[in-house]
Amino acid sequence: MTDARMRHGRAALAFSFLAQGMAFALLVTRIPAVQDRYGISNALLPAFLAAVPVLAGVGSVGAEHLVERVRPSLVLRWSQPVVLLSLLGVAAVEGVAQLALALGAFGLAVGALDASMNMLGVSLQRSYGRSIMLGFHAAYSLGGILGASLAWLGAHLELSLVASYLPVAAVLLPAALLGSRWYVDAAAPGPADAGKGAAQAAGVAGAGPGAREAAPAFRMLLPLCLVMTFAYIGDSTVSNWSAKYLQDVLGSSEQLATVPYNVYMATTLIGRSLGDLGVRRFGAVAVVRGGALLAALGFGTVAAAPGAWTGMLGFTLLGLGLCVLVPQTFAAAGRLFPGASDAAVARLNVFNYVGFLVGSPLVGALGDAWNYRTAMLVPMALVLVTLGYARSFAPQQPAPA
């Protein structure tokens, strides 16, 4: 594989991550407008919101089976337009039933898109021979910031959902299709990698160079699945509860309460932009441990904060800490299962939706049962559990001959 082809593939994939971040942010930040447009009751809204990550999990599993027959780049090439078109559908359809279909298509396509993007990211990192995975997720964070900013502008100008979404889709859709020409699929693993991947995936030793690649056994993936789940529980806690926590618990103004999530997104972008350099210098294990400790310190600061500005510091630490965990979890799956990395990534990707589904209701229920300061200690404890799994992120040493 030539250096030019890898550079083009890396740039095209980074744009795909950015476009996905924009599309997802445009949807979630305008949920109140969607609710108002279709007259969805507060009782029914959680069912609509929960359906998207559930169907995304189904889409991720479907991507695992699709890539047994077609290249991951093809799954990515056609799932991204479906995401953008279904986003337009959310804005343009008539009636709740059609909205449900549009959201269903969005969820299924997002699952396939997330899985295939990370498959290509893992394989490109293997080809580069150094950490580049955090850079792709930095592009996603930048897309999220851009999407949220465009959503704010649309709301500020009182634009309809169609008027907000159509210009973005009109730019991103042809650009993503054009960029998809340069996607780079994984090169076939060498004999040693294939044998190693098959042996680890089956959970047995002794597979030879000619061993058939197998899907990874769940018990082999379990540590990474737990890290992924805990990271997204932390992330969903910030996205769903930071504003309420700052206003209701720490007594901030309504305007100031909107700042923590923006700060969190900005520090996530900074952390991911610099994270690959940290991995190259200190190693993945040290970066994951440092991220987990920073995130735990962030949750502890938020829980103990005497006022709004200290709480803001806590959310800043959370962004810097949590941001490294998810990209490094995907990268670790690629290292652990070099002969079956696509299946490993697809299965691991399901657990980001598990964490997203669990996090917000968990903190809400604990906050109602006890108080929200105590509730913040639960994701803190879960993030600290990650320290026990940090060795799973170490590069695997070749077995002695």
Residues 166 and 71 placed together within one structural domain of the fold: yes
Q: What is the pLDDT of residue 213?
A: 53
- Would 332 be classed as within a structural domain? yes
- Would 190 be classed as within a structural domain? no
Q: Answer whether 205's CB lies under 8 Å from 324's CB.
A: no
Residues 96 and 177 placed together within one structural domain of the fold: yes
Domain with residue 313: its CATH number is 1.20.1250.20
Q: Match 């095209």 to its residue by tokens.
A: 12
Residues 230 and 140 placed together within one structural domain of the fold: no
Residue where a domain stops, chosen among 182, 212, 229: 182
Q: How far apart are CA 119 and CA 157, in angstroms?
A: 39
User: In the chain, what is the straight-line distance between the N-terminal and C-terminal CA atoms, in Å?
Assistant: 29
The sign of the torsion formed by the CA atoms of 53, 57, 58, 64 equals positive
Residues 210 and 94 placed together within one structural domain of the fold: no
- Would 220 be classed as within a structural domain? yes
Residues 311 and 247 placed together within one structural domain of the fold: yes
Q: Answer whether 165's CB lies under 8 Å from 93's CB.
A: no
Residue where a domain stops, chosen among 159, 182, 205: 182
Residues 166 and 204 placed together within one structural domain of the fold: no
Closest among 359, 247, 368 to 311, alpha carbons compared: 247
- Other C-beta atoms lying within 10 Å of the C-beta of residue 278: 18
Q: How far apart are CA 394 and CA 69, in angstroms?
A: 31
- Would 399 be classed as within a structural domain? no
Q: How many C-alpha atoms does 254 have within 13 Å on its Cβ side?
A: 0
Residues 131 and 204 placed together within one structural domain of the fold: no
Tally of domains in the chain: 2
Quickly list H helices, 180-307: 191-202, 218-244, 254-257, 259-282, 284-304
Residues 163 and 213 placed together within one structural domain of the fold: no
> Model-level pTM?
0.88
The type of residue at 224 is L
Strand, coil or helix: 383? helix
Residues 165 and 215 placed together within one structural domain of the fold: no
Q: What is the pLDDT of residue 73?
A: 95
Closest among 109, 62, 56, 65 to 85, alpha carbons compared: 109
SS (H, E, C) 106-117: HHHHHHHHHHHH
- Would 398 be classed as within a structural domain? no
- Would 143 be classed as within a structural domain? yes
Q: Answer whether 344's CB lies under 8 Å from 273's CB.
A: no
- R_g of the chain, CA atoms, integer Å: 21
Within 8 A by CB and 6+ apart from 196, the residues are 207, 338, 339, 396, 398, 399
- Please list the rounded mean pLDDT of every run of 10 residues in the chain (401 residues): 86 97 90 89 84 94 94 96 96 93 96 96 93 95 91 88 94 96 75 46 37 62 94 91 89 83 91 95 95 97 95 94 95 89 93 91 89 94 94 69 40
User: Given 3-state DSSP classes, what are the helix, strand and coil percentages for the chain, each rounded to the nearest 5?
Assistant: 80, 0, 20
- Would 311 be classed as within a structural domain? yes
Residues spanned by the domain of 319: 195-393
Residues 78 and 134 placed together within one structural domain of the fold: yes
Q: How far apart are CA 141 and CA 216, in angstroms?
A: 29
Q: How far apart are CA 106 and CA 32, in angstroms?
A: 18
Residue where a domain stops, chosen among 158, 182, 206: 182
CA distances from 250 to 65, 241, 256, 305, 375 (A): 48, 12, 11, 8, 14
Angle between helical axes of 96-128 and 341-369 (0-180°, round to 10): 130
**What is the full DSSP assignment across 47-58?**
HHHHHHHHHHHH
Residues 90 and 199 placed together within one structural domain of the fold: no
Residues 289 and 359 placed together within one structural domain of the fold: yes
- Would 401 be classed as within a structural domain? no
Q: How far apart are CA 101 and CA 108, in angstroms?
A: 11
Closest among 89, 101, 79 to 349, alpha carbons compared: 79
